[in-house]
Amino acid sequence: MATCHILGASGSIGRAIADRLEQRMPLSTHRWVVRRWDSSSCDLLDPDAVRAAFAGRPGGDRYVFCAAKVPSRGDSADAGADNQRMLDHLLHALAGSCAHFVFLSSVDVYGPPLDGAVLDESSPLAPDGPYAESKVWSEKRLRAVDIRFPVTTFRLPGVYGPSDGLRSTAGLLARKILEGDTITLPPQTVLRDFVTAADVAALTESALATGTVGTYVAASGYSLSLRRIVALLERGLELPASVATRTEPSQRDADLRFDTRRLHEAFGDVEMTPMTTGLVRYGEWVRHGMNQ
Ligand SMILES: NC(=O)c1ccc[n+]([C@@H]2O[C@H](COP(=O)([O-])OP(=O)(O)OC[C@H]3O[C@@H](n4cnc5c(N)ncnc54)[C@H](OP(=O)(O)O)[C@@H]3O)[C@@H](O)[C@H]2O)c1
């Protein structure tokens, strides 16, 4: 039986993917053992440790790469370089011995979009910080000529779910509502699209099960205004938010809208959760203390 290695399995998305693959195993015709990795079981920044853990593994093994230093913990040049090194060490250790590689990228590869832009897989890349640059670098590295195994890349917008520890954007807003802090919104309507960690897990399972490869914008496809997002969280939390409006616009206020037709064509079996239901459910989880 092949092994499916989840790198970054202690993180909010990696945990959701590992849980789903394990729970679905008895239902699936695809048989693989799930192996969870984090920095304590293998520090991906240590090439010797990575070689010891992964060199010589069977060629039928699958890899889901969720390990990263994420910008919510500080978008430094060092963190960006570390993200590149982590992936590079693993690819060196595998030396091409891999049946399928799933990589979690970010819509940050596009940078702040121009007014009115609807982003898809062919939109120009304009990373504007070390984290986004490390994602562009990693995507390119996984398309290099020496990579002969199948690769699936998901470009994710903000992800929320019960194991995000309120560190997602939705979680930070929910925390403010819970604690009675004022949420300051931009002066104009700003659109956002967030996806659930459970949907990312379902997409990953589908990619592994069907062998679907390529790069996909994995958004819900239905952007909502930040004010509406706050209202959905209020409903789930059963608490009112205190909302103020900023006077000055910022470059970060650009709308985020995504064309997900390519995702739907490739992963029609996965129904992406609209924020209208997902964020209410998220608020309910938080209200019941289920978010860790
Ligand atoms: N969350 C989002 O909204 C979002 C949006 C777009 C893209 N993404 C991408 O999705 C992936 C997962 O994100 P996440 O939110 O789940 O991140 P997270 O919760 O911060 O988890 C990061 C994971 O990476 C592991 N890791 C960090 N440094 C490591 C090292 N030196 N060696 C081995 N493992 C290491 C961590 O292990 P330890 O716990 O042991 O440190 C943890 O398991 C990342 O690639 C991220 O860039 C996330």
Q: Summarize the confidence of residues 189-204 as an average pLDDT.
A: 97
Q: Is 68 in the pocket of ligand 1 (CB under 6 A)?
A: yes
Per-position DSSP letters for 247-273, written without gaps between them = SS--GGG----B--HHHHHH-TT--PP
Q: Is 64 in the pocket of ligand 1 (CB under 6 A)?
A: no
Nearest CA to ligand 1 atom 43: 8
- Candidates 36, 62, 169, 63; CA nearest to 106 is 169
Q: Is 185 in the pocket of ligand 1 (CB under 6 A)?
A: no
**Where residue 40 sits, what CATH number does that domain have?**
3.40.50.720
Q: Is 158 in the pocket of ligand 1 (CB under 6 A)?
A: yes
| Cβ neighbours around 47 below 10 Å, total | 15
Confidence check: pLDDT of 220 > 90: yes
Does residue 75 fall inside a structural domain?
yes
Q: Is 106 in the pocket of ligand 1 (CB under 6 A)?
A: yes
Q: Is 142 in the pocket of ligand 1 (CB under 6 A)?
A: no
Q: What's the 69 CA to ligand 1 centre distance in angstroms?
A: 6
CA distances from 218 to 14, 86, 137, 157, 193 (A): 16, 23, 19, 7, 10
pLDDT in tens, 25-80: 766 666 779 999 999 999 999 999 999 999 999 999 999 999 999 987 778 999 99
According to the model, what pLDDT value does residue 24 have?
A: 84
Given a contact cutoff of 8 angstroms between Cβ atoms, the answer to whether 170 and 160 are in contact is yes
Does residue 110 fall inside a structural domain?
yes
Q: What's the 46 CA to ligand 1 centre distance in angstroms?
A: 16
Cα–Cα distance for residue pair 44/49, rounded to 1 Å? 7
State the virtual CA torsion across 30, 33, 36, 40 in degrees, nearest 10: -150
Average pLDDT, the chain: 94
Per-residue confidence band for 114, with pLDDT thresholds at 50, 70 and 90? confident
Does residue 232 fall inside a structural domain?
no
| Cβ neighbours around 107 below 10 Å, total | 22
Does residue 51 fall inside a structural domain?
yes
Does residue 210 fall inside a structural domain?
yes
Q: Is 168 in the pocket of ligand 1 (CB under 6 A)?
A: yes
Nearest CA to ligand 1 atom 8: 106
pLDDT in tens, 119-151: 999 999 999 999 999 999 999 999 998 889 999
According to the model, what pLDDT value does residue 292 have?
A: 59
Does residue 249 fall inside a structural domain?
no
Structure tokens at 218: 């994995």
Nearest CA to ligand 1 atom 26: 67
Q: Which domain holds residue 207?
A: 2-163+195-221+257-272
Domain tally, the chain:
1
Per-residue confidence band for 177, with pLDDT thresholds at 50, 70 and 90? very high
Nearest CA to ligand 1 atom 7: 106
- Global pTM exceeds 0.85: yes
Relative to the CA of 67, which ligand 1 atom is closest? Answer: 24
Confidence check: pLDDT of 113 > 90: no
Q: Is 66 in the pocket of ligand 1 (CB under 6 A)?
A: yes
Cα–Cα distance for residue pair 90/15, rounded to 1 Å? 19
Does residue 168 fall inside a structural domain?
no
Does residue 135 fall inside a structural domain?
yes
